[in-house]
A and B are shown apart, each in its own frame.
Chain A
Amino acid sequence: MRIRIGFNTNLTFYIENSEKMANLQGIPKLITQMAVVCTEKQFENMSKEDETILDNRYVYLSTTQERNELRGGVITGALPKDSVAVIPQDCSAGYLSFLLNSMPAQFLLFEGKYNSKNKTKITKKLVSSLVIYDVEQSSQDAYELADSIREITFKNYNTNREDISSHRLYYLLLDLCNMLALELYAHPMFEEKGIFILKSWKETVAEATENNNPNLMFDALIKSDKKLRNELMKAHMLLNDITQYLNSKIDGVENK
């Protein structure tokens, strides 16, 4: 079995080798160990039994997905039509949204068909097979924030396709989220290559919070002397190495 980071269609490998694949950032688990995945009907029944479900944040996923669409987002209240609900148990809804919108999940949900013209049907079964990392709360918050900003930039990008600055910000945030997710699934390899994206992102958020200046988060992605921007660039430059290295490690684990 070959695992290609970001395009893995068989993430169960992580579960089978969870001890070996556990990293400093967290432990891989099936999504159903950390959240309840349910259909529209099941959600309706659950909310009849316990109305407080509607007050809490959860993630919805449209059952029909297309290129350049968000797979879903965090909401409260009734589940939109033609959706699957993912109700967090041991993690935050925002973190789940981040993961479900990230590359590894994207490729699983799209059955490996990135940029497909054809619509893909998202099912409860498909979502339930996702592997996610159980990470500490501060990291969940950082991932959630990145995903929220990406969502805003995506909306701007989508409503103003001619505006180059909207493109720029969307691509930057999309790249940040994808690299954060990639780092999560391949943390030891990132560490070996000296790439620390989550750490730099957390530092950036702390600086922006301290100075009460959200623009510092964008600066960190754009300005050439900023650590986060350079960590992302480094990940791109060494992407091939990371992928090859990861594949060889996984092969090594498998052979044992």
Chain B
Amino acid sequence: MAWKINKITIENFKYFLNPFELKPEGKHVLMYGENGSGKSSIYWAAYTLFQSCLKEPEDARKYFDKNHPDSLCNLYDTANRRSGIEIEFIDDNGIKRSYTDGSWIINTKDDGFVRLSTFASDFMNYKFLSAIFDFKNSMRVDLFKIFEDEIFPFLSLNGQVYDIETAESLAKSGVEDWWRYIKYCYETPGLLTRRSEGGVFVHDEKYTTYQNLITDFNNRLQVLLTDIADNANSKLEEAKMPVKISLNLEKAAFDKKVEGSFRSYDSIFYPPQIILTAQLLDAAGNPVANKDINHPRSFFNEAKLTKMALAIRLAIFDRKYQGTDCAKVIFVDDLLISLDMSNRLLVVRQLLDYVDRYQLFIFTHDRSFYDLICDSISQRNQAKEWCYFEMYAIDEEVSESKVPEPWMNVKENYLQQSRSFFSNYEYHASANSLRKECEKQLQRLYPRQMVLDTKDDGTVSLMSLNGLIQRLNDFYTRYDLYPVPTPLIDQYRKRILNPASHNDNKAKVFRSELKMAMEEISEFEKIKKLTIVDDDRIESQEFVLEIDNEGRHVRIEFTPEEMWSKLEYKGNEYYEGIKIHILSITGFHGKTEGMNIRKLWKSICKYAAYEEGSFPAIESVIRDKASGVALKDLSAE
């Protein structure tokens, strides 16, 4: 990733009246913002600057002209202040370049760097996703208009569009360029020679050239759409969604033969349609029915529609330029508001897969979604590559300037916070942050049932830190994770973490002890948790455990009775000992009742005459029954 955004400055634009700076300094950005706090204005500011390189200067400048109907200047501007956006980029060597799109200067037009960055970057929000399926149940899903507005400007047809009169190249190959020119030819009076009765003269060379142009456009667009659909289907498969989509082009046409006549043509132009259909797949990936689903909206729920739309959106994104000589940025603004948490997690995983190649800006107004992303980032050990912001609105009644103002808080994660307090000799505050970090990490790592505390009256609440730490040994045993990464955690709880939470200023927090506690608690961050079986596949996904040794062949088929995960820590893998439901068993007559999968595996290894210490790895003897994929290759973050 060569170039990144170092700083965004916004002035008298949308929500921001006074100059506002966001400084990601080349890092990814995760921002929580209340509704109306200005986060979407940052999204649109970046979008406006990136887009400006494709516009004529007067078209780009109108957004900063207070008197223009399309003005995006702040509504509270009474002094005709200057209005604009500036983005500073930085490369791996610290070299900076800055671009402005504003009332006083626009230096993005015809700039190769900004143009490449625009074609390599993407802006995603919920509007696009919802538009994909925003059709009445009775209507076919024709995406052409959405593609025309949102997608065509950024994709190429890998071939130049040519002038039908001069045969010269128009030096453009974008889908939008092709489509605009085809429309222009039809809509320009006199270009395609009219017959006296208003038709077209088919023997004119321009007519033939025009028909050839339309044929080329149709063929090239169908190739593009097929590529997008194939890629979207791969993403749906990754997201474990048994659906296959198709994007079928109903081709553009001009001057069709009149039905029932031999020589009459209608002189009408028929715009293309991009028809989205879907097929439901069985476990083996084959279509469940022969018929396509032509009205997905009436067939799938909102979450599934969103996942399909996102798969299409990301597939389109993958078609973009991916060179390293520009900035590659993905801006995401409140993308997933209709998904529940488990579905959001899948999407977050997909998005976070881009962090190595792109700079991500994720904006959300949903606190739980924000926390979910934070957790996913820390599970990947990538917290240091991100900066976290929170934005709040100060309304005009209380703001000093009497206009709504943003207030931005640079948010650190608890461990960073603890380190920061420690460096400033604020040991109690440091210990308090450490306590929160400890709580957060244990909640992340533990199976759900270990995090919840069921009271005598049947109510359920989140377990306190004390309770969580008391269960830590059970947790390590569950995964057979020895030696334990945090042997002294209970001591630190008593001496460091608890006094801090009770505001016990008399209790001394010793610097050296706090430092050791910090080191030990930071070990949790290094433990990566990967899901093998999610809760939607409990008791449905079938596995086979098979061991063959010294003439003893044992085969057990089972389904998990609870979610299943593994831990990665310091290069080793630790598989969770979950409860299972045995479906069939051959070649083994020992006890199986009440055994978790780890105990059962050990028991069978012994039965198959393996020496203690030389058992075949659990992940190599268990496989998914349907796909045959070994346990070690099944997990996801």
Contacts and interface: CB of A to CB of B under 8 A. Distances in A.
Interface of A: 4-7, 67, 107, 110, 112-118, 164, 167-168, 171-172, 174-175, 193-194, 224-225, 227, 230-234, 236-244
B169 A243 contact: yes
Which of B112, B158, B168, B220 gathers most chain A CB within 10 Å?
B158
B213 interface: yes
B358 to A, nearest CB: 12
Nearest to A157: B219
A236 B322 contact: no
| Chain B contact patch, size range | 35 or more
A245 to B, nearest CB: 10
A7 B115 contact: no
A243 B161 CA distance: 14
B464 interface: no
B633 interface: no
B147 to A, nearest CB: 18
B319 A224 contact: yes
A239 B119 CA distance: 14
A168 B222 CA distance: 9
B223 A171 contact: yes
Contact of A116 (B171, B209, B319, B320): B209
A5 to B, nearest CB: 8
A239 B171 CA distance: 6
B158 A172 contact: yes
Contacts of B222: 164, 167
Contacts of A4: 168-169, 171
Chain A at the B interface: SS class = helix
A237 B166 contact: no
5 contacts: A115-B162, A164-B226, A171-B159, A172-B158, A241-B112
B173 interface: yes
B205 A224 contact: no
Given A67-B212, A107-B167, A232-B158, 4 more contacts: A7-B162, A110-B167, A171-B219, A227-B323
Contacts of A233: 119, 156, 321, 323
A237 B167 contact: no
The 7 closest A-B pairs by CB, nearest first: A117-B208, A114-B167, A230-B323, A243-B171, A236-B173, A175-B158, A115-B212
Interface string B204-231: 0100110011000001101100110000
B318 interface: yes
A112 B167 contact: yes
B141 interface: no
B325 interface: yes
Contact of B322 (A110, A168, A175, A230): A230
Contacts of A172: 158
B160 interface: yes
B335 interface: no
Contacts of B322: 224-225, 230
A239 B209 CA distance: 22
Interface string B303-328: 00000000000000011111101000
A105 B575 CA distance: 65
